[in-house]
Amino acid sequence: MAPFQPDPTKLQCPHCGSDKIYRNGTHQLVDGTERQRYICRTCTYRFRFPPEYTLKSIDDTIDDTQISAKQVKNLEPQLEKTIVVGENTNIDAFLTWMKNQGYREATIYSRGKRLRRLQKLGAHLNDPESVKATIANQVNWKEGMKEAAVFAYDLYAKRNNITWERPRYKAIRQLPFIPQEREIDDLIAGVNREIALLLLIAKDTGARAGEVFNLKWTDIDFVAHTINIAPEKNSNPRMCRMSKRLQNVLECYPKRQENIFCQYKTLLNLRRTFERQRTRLSIRLANPRLNKITIHTLRHWKATTEYSKTKDILYVMQVMGHKNIKNTLLYTQLIQGQQDTGYICKIAQTPQEAVVLIEDGFELHCSYGENDSTKLFRKKKL
């Protein structure tokens, strides 16, 4: 495969071609000049600018071997598309209005991101036809991305008294990705301490990312081995049992402040840290399936696992905190077609033998013999 050739007119990662480039300090050469260093947030590749990139396409008189960090910083705005200042101010005012109206931080961030993305693609937010044309011309966008952009602009239009006819885009609903438990454990073992704790809580409780992020130490009951989940998205509050492994990790975790994840100011910062570490781990383990695992994926995994064990849709509905059973019925489809792995059966004739089997994860299936003295236990094969 031929090496990736970056576009000399814009900043791109020379390794993967991503445009998610951030400054990462400077590098001083032997002659005393400094070169700006960058890091790619997609593949974590670090590079200098120049000589990996050349700006001769912008100004043929520039000698890329003598360019300084200050000159590079002055030339970078030439690589970006012009944004209308007035519309950019309107976006900031719109996001402030959303905050005052009580919208959640994640909703404010996502809608602002989509509006600014439309601006960079050339749409004029005060012209609905320009927005429609910009969305329609994005051939690489899926229907769900177009629908989300329409929703973001629709609220913006209502706020600014702009009349427009919403285009008809409908996201195609797909079944969520369900990883293997071994892959989840590999991910937990490969990330840092804070992210590992968050993933472990999400795996045990099936809580949403925001519900886990907002947990406080007062929500943890080490005596009853439970975690009190404060709901998001108008779902039901619930009390979840935690495993012995999770309890051991929580007991050893430093209690700095009231919130468990106090070192991260926002959930967005925590997500970005998790995504960077997940990308590096997927490359290290040569398993691209790890990149498909998100924090919310563990919620799907928990619901599917619980329904596979119990076949009780109402119990799964209670564990997930759903108010509508239609949301829970999705997980019945995820286990259809899966082969039954069978059971391991054991017999206990004394209470001591029964205690040992229960501690090993066996469940009582039935009793037989005189006075039902013989107990038959079983558990699913892994």
- Is residue 261 a contact partner of residue 160, using CB atoms and an 8 Å limit? no
- Is residue 69 a contact partner of residue 36, using CB atoms and an 8 Å limit? yes
Domain end among 55, 79, 103? 79
293 and 236 co-located in one domain: yes
Which pLDDT belongs to residue 150?
A: 92
Examine residue 218 and state whether it is found in any structural domain, yes or no: yes
Examine residue 167 and state whether it is found in any structural domain, yes or no: no
190 and 326 co-located in one domain: yes
CA nearest 103: which of 155, 153, 150, 154? 155
DSSP readout, 320-349?
HT-SSHHHHTHHHHHTTTPPP--EEEEEE-
Domains of the chain: total: 4
Radius of gyration of the chain (CA): 27
CA distance 320 to 47: 45
329 and 185 co-located in one domain: yes
251 and 373 co-located in one domain: no
Which pLDDT belongs to residue 336?
A: 57
190 and 305 co-located in one domain: yes
Within 10 Å of residue 137's Cβ, how many Cβ atoms? 11
Domain end among 44, 79, 114? 79
Terminal-to-terminal C-alpha distance of the chain: 40
Examine residue 7 and state whether it is found in any structural domain, yes or no: no
CA distance 79 to 7: 11
191 and 303 co-located in one domain: yes
Which pLDDT belongs to residue 335?
A: 66
204 and 322 co-located in one domain: yes
Examine residue 176 and state whether it is found in any structural domain, yes or no: no
Examine residue 175 and state whether it is found in any structural domain, yes or no: no
132 and 202 co-located in one domain: no
Which pLDDT belongs to residue 299?
A: 92
Residues near 176 by Cβ (< 8 Å), separated by ≥ 6?
297, 300, 330, 334
By three-state DSSP, how is residue 23 classified?
A: strand
Domain end among 159, 193, 220? 159
Which pLDDT belongs to residue 45?
A: 78
Examine residue 98 and state whether it is found in any structural domain, yes or no: yes
293 and 307 co-located in one domain: yes
DSSP readout, 193-261?
HHHHHHHHHHHHH---HHHHHT-BGGGEETTTTEEEEPPSTT---EEEE--HHHHHHHHHS---SSBTT
Q: Is the peptide bond before 50 cis (omega within 30 degrees of 0)?
A: yes
By residue range, what is the domain housing residue 238? 181-334
231 and 330 co-located in one domain: yes
Examine residue 172 and state whether it is found in any structural domain, yes or no: no
CA nearest 19: which of 38, 36, 37, 35? 38
The list of the chain residues with pLDDT below 70 reads 1-10, 30, 49-88, 335-342, 370-371, 382
Which pLDDT belongs to residue 229?
A: 92
By three-state DSSP, how is residue 48 classified?
A: strand
186 and 326 co-located in one domain: yes
Within 10 Å of residue 326's Cβ, how many Cβ atoms? 8
Strand segments (E) across the chain: 21-28, 34-40, 46-49, 220-221, 226-229, 238-241, 343-348, 363-368, 374-380
Q: Model-level pTM?
A: 0.64
| The token pair that represents 310 in the structure block | 């119990």
36 and 103 co-located in one domain: no
By three-state DSSP, how is residue 46 classified?
A: strand
CA distance 155 to 295: 28
CA distance 301 to 163: 43
Examine residue 90 and state whether it is found in any structural domain, yes or no: yes
Task: Dump pLDDT digits (tens) for 296-316.
Answer: 999 999 999 888 888 888 888
Which pLDDT belongs to residue 280?
A: 93
